[in-house]
A and B are shown apart, each in its own frame.
Chain A
């Protein structure tokens, strides 16, 4: 059923609820699609077919018995392999955890299951979520369905690619420096980083604790909102989790109205280093918003120029500490235990073998940034930058309701293009990082293809803390406006993937 895999999550939910389609059929269609194309795309590290089908059947049984179904009951979802999910390894795309099966579920996974979504499997990512291209995965890269010779973004390239390849209508990711938004941008999909503390981090393998935030990924803004609603909310198991009602993101996505809204264009997020196609689509998106009744203002956030530097100090510092537990003593890879080697030696060997280059780089930088004599200059200063960036946002939001920028300076680059130049790779995160540092909500929605390469461009929408709904409000308006102009969603234009014969 081709129709099934191209449907939105909202549509599938409606069909399942009405009985037009069974949840089992829907899941089966997606499993078939994965089998047909994932060899090329490699979005998935693990496909959990049997369990997914049994989850789907349980939904069908509920429906048959007349039980009311939840909003997304029976809708398949792909989960970034950073979320603990019992019964399958959770690998973080690393050799260190290649065979580690968690004994517990992350809160997000529990919520997906409690809302009767069907978990298709675990998606690929940059190792331990460190990267902007999914090239550092220990298990091979994921390919951008728009062009299989190009990266799908990172670290959550697997989730984004799964959506763009129609392998799943929904996906769950994490965003620390742009890992949901940048892949969304380069794959023509929707990705949202909720306000920090909006979604529980319990059971999500930690990268940088004060920056990590799980979030929804989908092909449409409404779908993302529906998933956001399921994932978000207070969790007593996460001390940094906000104890407040989830902002009404679904209503906002449905309203899709920007008349009278003040939209700030961030001066610092554009210009040199930004691809012409990206700037062109961005300008058009801004003009569209204006034509829809929004007021456009130019806003300067002067400290944003320090954001990348601050991020690449704070994040590695927290990484160096969060990844210390991977030492081969209690779980994960243990190497070199020959009965003679000491604990020290085995730890060192296991970590050397278990971690890839990027992970090692970041651990070393982080160790340096925190070390005696360097703390003030590096980590300490970076935390001050953080205060300034938050102040920039607060000042900006006095003059506007949301801020907009391109989601990333370029379109999807080719494999290998930035692997030898870490700084070049880090620049993919220029636009997304400020919102991670300050903690406020931000989303990326597709706004077209760049003229020079025909590859997707994303619009980043940033809202004040706890005003996640504004991202959906503006995002949905842009989506609808553009769909009008194009005669359909952007993903209608994605080149069809050749299905591998069974």
Chain B
């Protein structure tokens, strides 16, 4: 917590103010090539190995528009209920910064490709309308690393530039000011981001992982005294790197701004940086707003998507994520609480769906993904879909439990093995000898041994104290290293002592 900021109690702020939220989201597209040239958009190449005269902005170079990026923009716009421009242009946004090879960004200004949309976001059964101002196309910049000064920009001695990311297609999605969310504002914002993420993945246009930077969120928020219609001063918060942080950052800003206003002060219009520790700090304050001197990009000709093209793209849209969730919840028979759990885990819905397709029941699929595997993903700091085990394997695992080969407890050990790279679930069972012992003879023997070793306990059971059998069952399970069906062991114990 930043000791410098005073914070007002959240509920107190909400009692006195209405919150107005604006979200600007940048999505990196998964196209094969960059926006203006054929260089790869692949992550993690050697520095400056995915560059060419065009994305490096060498003298004389010229951009040429990636058609798939335009298609993706239109599809995103349609999915957000937007109108698609009949005619629009690119524009140059002029400013100097070393990560921009041309010292201008090719973007769109007053003629976005998509505009005037709306998306319904549901939080706790309540639907909120998020008005979409625009979706437009632009390009990403290079990556700067700072040398000296502990790798941060302040105090650095110099910087190094890698332009592999320069020119990667970016879609910018901007909401209009969102009013009427009340105290759920931050949660609505988070759900909106989750919705966008699902949408991008369903459209197949981006992985949209905030932690990886393929989806970025700048959150704007201001407080308006209840009853007033005059918008308050807003702050913009950047460096938000997860869905959770979207909500946390907005809550923080609400509380901070509330405290400022309560103290008789004025909220400073500024850009703030979110810190994972749980607070925001003021960014660079600029005396004058940067003058970007936008003008239509002369090196590119207008984009005028025909209505036929737009109609054809409309037929390629996937089922809207919200509708899909409703349908799947019904199909799977999950309660609202259970579904909320699913929705709260990034990527879970897809994985559960795939696991069910592979043969598991929805309940067991949910169980594995949201308990064991979610825990392990969190520990490893990776997404659920990167945990190291896939839907088919989870279904296989559940089959082994269903047919009695494994108990739940043993199944967890199998997961260990799969994640350790020891192979498929069946392979791990064999290799580690984890199968439940179903050999009645062996079981009976083990029960006999346990009874013989614990005569006093055995006598209690004979005398009618059935609960005492627990200790004997425990002893057998221990001897069997857990590889026994506890229910069957209990049966055998009681049989022998009756």
A–B proximity contact (CB within 8 A): yes
Of residues 303 through 360 on chain A, the ones whose CB sits less than 8 Å from some CB of chain B are: 317-318, 320-321, 324-327, 329-331, 339, 343-344, 347
- B134-162 interface bits toward A, Cβ cutoff 8 Å, 1 = contact, 0 = none: 00000000000000000000000111010
Contact of A204 among B53, B60, B159, B291 (CB under 8 A): B60
Q: Is the CB of A103 within 8 A of B53?
A: yes
In the complex, which of the residues A202, A321, A371 has the most CB atoms of chain B within 10 Å of its own CB atom? A321
Nearest CB in chain A to that of B59: its residue? A205
- A244-257 interface bits toward B, Cβ cutoff 8 Å, 1 = contact, 0 = none: 00000000000000
Interface check A209, CB cutoff 8 A: yes
**Residues of chain A lying within 8 A (CB to CB) of residue B300:** 239-240
Main secondary structure of the interface of B (DSSP, over half): loop
**Residues of chain B lying within 8 A (CB to CB) of residue A331:** 58-59
Q: What is the CA–CA distance of A202 and B52 in the complex, to the nearest angstrom?
A: 13
Q: What is the CA–CA distance of A318 and B159 in the complex, to the nearest angstrom?
A: 30
Cβ distance B286 to chain A, nearest Cβ, rounded Å: 14
Interface check B313, CB cutoff 8 A: no
Given contacts A324-B94, A324-B96, A343-B159, contact A102 B299 (CB under 8 A): no
Q: Is the CB of B98 within 8 A of A343?
A: yes
Interface check B87, CB cutoff 8 A: no
Cβ distance B366 to chain A, nearest Cβ, rounded Å: 50
Contact of A239 among B60, B64, B102, B158 (CB under 8 A): B64
Q: Is the CB of A209 within 8 A of B298?
A: yes
Interface check A379, CB cutoff 8 A: yes
Contact of A106 among B60, B158, B291, B301 (CB under 8 A): B60
Cβ distance B112 to chain A, nearest Cβ, rounded Å: 19
Q: How many residues of A contact B (CB 8 A)?
A: 45
**Residues of chain B lying within 8 A (CB to CB) of residue A106:** 60
Interface check B431, CB cutoff 8 A: no
**Residues of chain B lying within 8 A (CB to CB) of residue A204:** 60
Interface check B49, CB cutoff 8 A: no
Given contacts A239-B299, A330-B56, contact A325 B291 (CB under 8 A): no
Q: Is the CB of A238 within 8 A of B98?
A: no
Q: What is the CA–CA distance of A347 and B59 in the complex, to the nearest angstrom?
A: 17
Interface check B345, CB cutoff 8 A: no
Q: What is the CA–CA distance of A104 and B58 in the complex, to the nearest angstrom?
A: 10
Give the size range of B's interface with the partner: 20 to 34
Given contacts A321-B295, A371-B291, contact A102 B64 (CB under 8 A): no
Interface check B293, CB cutoff 8 A: yes
**Residues of chain B lying within 8 A (CB to CB) of residue A206:** 59-60, 299
Given contacts A325-B57, A330-B101, A370-B295, contact A201 B159 (CB under 8 A): no
Interface check B128, CB cutoff 8 A: no
Q: What is the CA–CA distance of A326 and B102 in the complex, to the nearest angstrom?
A: 8
Interface check B363, CB cutoff 8 A: no
Q: Is the CB of A339 within 8 A of B298?
A: no
Interface check A159, CB cutoff 8 A: no
Interface check A400, CB cutoff 8 A: no
In the complex, which of the residues B57, B62, B294 has the most CB atoms of chain A within 10 Å of its own CB atom? B62
Nearest CB in chain B to that of A370: its residue? B293
Q: What is the CA–CA distance of A206 and B59 in the complex, to the nearest angstrom?
A: 7
Contact of B64 among A236, A327, A343 (CB under 8 A): A236
Nearest CB in chain B to that of A205: its residue? B59
**Residues of chain B lying within 8 A (CB to CB) of residue A84:** 59-60
Given contacts A324-B102, A372-B291, contact A237 B60 (CB under 8 A): no
Q: What is the CA–CA distance of A210 and B301 in the complex, to the nearest angstrom?
A: 11
Interface check B103, CB cutoff 8 A: yes
Q: Is the CB of A327 within 8 A of B103?
A: yes
Interface check A92, CB cutoff 8 A: yes
Q: What is the CA–CA distance of A236 and B58 in the complex, to the nearest angstrom?
A: 18
**Residues of chain A lying within 8 A (CB to CB) of residue B298:** 208-210, 240, 318
Q: Is the CB of A240 within 8 A of B58?
A: no
In the complex, which of the residues A92, A317, A327 has the most CB atoms of chain B within 10 Å of its own CB atom? A327
**Residues of chain A lying within 8 A (CB to CB) of residue B96:** 324, 327, 344, 347
Interface check B332, CB cutoff 8 A: no
Given contacts A239-B64, A330-B101, A367-B293, contact A102 B59 (CB under 8 A): yes
Q: What is the CA–CA distance of A240 and B62 in the complex, to the nearest angstrom?
A: 10
Taking A318-B295, A331-B58 as known contacts, 14 extra A-B pairs with beta carbons closer than 8 A to each other, sorted by chain A number, are: A84-B59, A92-B59, A102-B53, A104-B53, A206-B299, A210-B298, A239-B62, A321-B293, A325-B102, A344-B96, A370-B295, A371-B293, A375-B293, A379-B295
13 contacts between A and B (CB under 8 A): A102-B53, A102-B60, A208-B298, A239-B300, A321-B92, A325-B57, A325-B101, A329-B98, A330-B101, A331-B59, A343-B98, A372-B291, A379-B295
